[in-house]
Amino acid sequence: MRRLLAAALCAALITGLSACGQEEGTSAEFYAMDTNMSVTAYDGNAQNAVSAVRDELYSLDLRLSRTRIDSAISRLNTGVGLPAEEADISQLITSAIEYSDATAGAFDITVAPLVSAWGFTTDHYQIPKQKELDRLLPHVGSSHILFGGDGTITLDGGTKIDLGGIAKGYASDLCEQILSESGVTSAMASLGGNIYVRGSKPDGSAWRVGVQDPQKPSGFAGVLSLTDAYAVTSGGYQRYFEENGKRYHHILNPATGYPAESGLTSVTVVAPANGDEHGDGPGHGTMCDAFSTALFVMGEEKAVEFWRSGVYDFDLVMVTEDGRVLVTDGLADKFQQEDGSGYAYETVSGNPA
Ligand code: ADP
Ligand code: MG
């Protein structure tokens, strides 16, 4: 018997938005990119900012959608190619390829045909036959994404792209940009588990961002205190189906075509906000989204090694199948353990022990 299970949001924001005596913010709550989103701004031109964010993310959703036949991504996937005018999407694809290279292909937007084969695009879940995966795997890999001299992008035959592992992160970068342009200094955005916090809460304290307990998503494995930061969680518990008592989730190992089984149940990547000099285009929100997916695929050892390499500026909270919560030392004074969670907490230092 097959059971279809949809999961709740991932990293949750514990904000007390209208807590007593606290300035109430201006919020927009909406549904885009297959998830519930909310943005709240507390100062500056808050009203304009939150509606501009909502409009921008609706439009981005339409352009990046794989299921809408006329979207920019559908045109690319059906062989029409992406014209140079879609410069922002082209930049996003360029970032995706960079993160793919950095993670030895653990993050790879060309997993699209595999995602479809498992039914994650349509919610008609199924376990694909090995023969089917063997046919699709040769088309997976960013070398199949071709950049023309005139700025156009095309794909090799059989290759398709899926920006589901990076789109909400990019959306959070756009939030930062729009809030900044609107003079907002205190705000937060929760885009289906991709959290962006701007400044501090109106009362001057840090935002509290819960890291969900993958075993019991109504509870927390810990809470982060953050200001001017992104926090993005990927976990196998967020979207999956069960067949013959086994769970199959939506984060795929691009090397095998199967859901990643790396011993991790969730990865939360935290990075500083881009800051006002950043300008537009993909930034740390996009990076956190790509790396949360990639590091979930890579598993504890490779993820720690990648973090220690120091090439990118981020920190990690990883929850393991065997009941541990690993927190990299950059978060030591920002992470609060959850009493009674049953997890064993470990700090990961920059140098191997
Ligand atoms: P979520 O979208 O649930 O927040 P992720 O950011 O981890 O979680 O993205 C998972 C989505 O990304 C999948 O639904 C699929 O569309 C796509 N995807 C799955 N595996 C990979 C992968 N290894 N690299 C890039 N994208 C992936
Ligand atoms: Mg991701």
Average pLDDT value for residue range 55-66? 96
Index of the ligand 1 atom closest to the CA of residue 233: 4
Q: Whole-prediction pTM value?
A: 0.94
CA–centroid distance, 169 to ligand 2, in Å, is 7
CA–centroid distance, 240 to ligand 1, in Å, is 12
| N- to C-terminal Cα separation, the chain | 47
What is the C-alpha radius of gyration for the chain, rounded to an integer number of angstroms?
Answer: 20
CB 72 within 8 A of CB 87: no
Q: Does pLDDT of 5 surpass 60?
A: no
**C-alpha span between 111 and 96 (Å, rounded):** 12
Q: Which domains does the chain have, with CATH numbers?
A: 13-17+27-59+96-126+166-348 (3.10.520.10)
pLDDT value at residue 19: 38
Q: How far is CA 328 from CA 103, 150, 210, 307, 315, in A?
A: 18, 43, 16, 9, 6
CB atoms within 10 A of CB 294: 28
- pLDDT by residue (tens digit) across 114-154? 999 999 998 899 999 999 999 999 999 999 999 998 889 99
Q: Does pLDDT of 62 surpass 80?
A: yes
Percentage of the residues of the chain whose pLDDT score is greater than 90: 85
**C-alpha span between 19 and 2 (Å, rounded):** 43
Q: Does pLDDT of 4 surpass 50?
A: no
**Which residue shows structure tokens 């890999």?**
141
Q: Residues 82, 87, 93, CA angle at the centre, nearest 5°?
A: 70
- pLDDT by residue (tens digit) across 322-340? 999 999 999 999 999 999 9
Best mutation site among 98, 211, 250 for ligand 1 pocket (most ligand atoms within 8 Å of CB): 250
